[in-house]
Amino acid sequence: MSTPYTTRLAIPDVATYCHLRSASGLSAKTVEAAAKGLPNSLFAVQVLQGELVVGMGRIIGDGGCFYQVVDIAVLPAHQGRGLGKLIMREISAFIASEVPASAYVSLIADGQAHQLYAQFGFTHTAPKSVGMALKR
């Protein structure tokens, strides 16, 4: 029998963060960028199997007007087990209890992830607005 999953409301360490991003198919981030950015998280959740961190999610933003859900990542061997929903439940609880009602909460959904986020009340913004990014 496999070890059950638990959550930890804490920012992952730099090595774990970088590993989860690249292993789950998200764009890689440098150790330097992660070390600088992670402490600025407004909220973070990790999913563990025993002591192994197998998933994560964060909220970043200004703490009042704008919040963005980022870094939803689950290791491939653990995907399809409801861990994305577990991460989003923790994020949604933070939003409900800590984020002002007038704040704008956004995210960018890759691939079919929009189906997961829709279960938590996120809707497409197009055609009224569209997401844009600066590729460097």
Residue 96 pLDDT exceeds 80: yes
Domains, the chain, ordered by start: 5-118 (3.40.630.30)
Q: Tell me, what's the pLDDT at 136?
A: 86
pLDDT at 3 over 90: no
pLDDT tens figures, 18-63: 999 999 999 999 999 999 999 999 999 999 999 999 999 999 999 9
Residue 40, phi then psi, degrees to nearest 5: -90, 5
Instruction: Find the mean pLDDT for residues 69-94.
Output: 97
**Is residue 1 over pLDDT 80?**
no
Mean predicted lDDT score pLDDT of the chain: 96
pTM of the model: 0.94
For residue 128, pLDDT beyond 70: yes
Alpha helices in the chain (DSSP H): 14-23, 31-37, 83-98, 113-118
Strand bridging mode 52-61 / 66-74: antiparallel
